[in-house]
Homo-oligomer: A and B are copies of this chain.
């Protein structure tokens, strides 16, 4: 299984992946139609993206006779986590908390999602530091306070 960590999915490709992940398995026709409906893309656009994804190892083609079938090679959860990690990696560590807070506020979460998060937080609270250092500049420990 290819590690999502090693596959960088661009914005447009992401849209394709979402469709593929949701369909689980699909033919190019189905996918092309879905992307047309979802994004108004021409056939070629979807085909190109699909091929780039195959080349990257995010999707694979199966079957030997022509209407081939395509299925995801990288997992959705793993890819999402990898993307989120990537994002937080280039943000100031000191502010990750408030960013997460903002995300939680604006996203819809189910009861069980919330319970899971509470569970994780309770665990994490046990040995949480008083403060997180700013890792933006060498020697700098804290950022200015935000406006």
Contact = CB atoms under 8 A, between A and B. Distances in A.
A83 B91 contact: yes
A77 B95 contact: yes
Given A22-B134, A132-B109, A87 B83 contact: yes
Interface string A64-99: 000000000001110011011101101111011111
Contact of A117 (B101, B137, B138): B101
A43 interface: no
Nearest to A22: B136
Given A80-B95, A85-B102, A93-B107, 12 more contacts: A19-B136, A21-B143, A22-B136, A81-B98, A81-B99, A81-B103, A97-B117, A110-B132, A111-B125, A111-B129, A114-B125, A114-B128
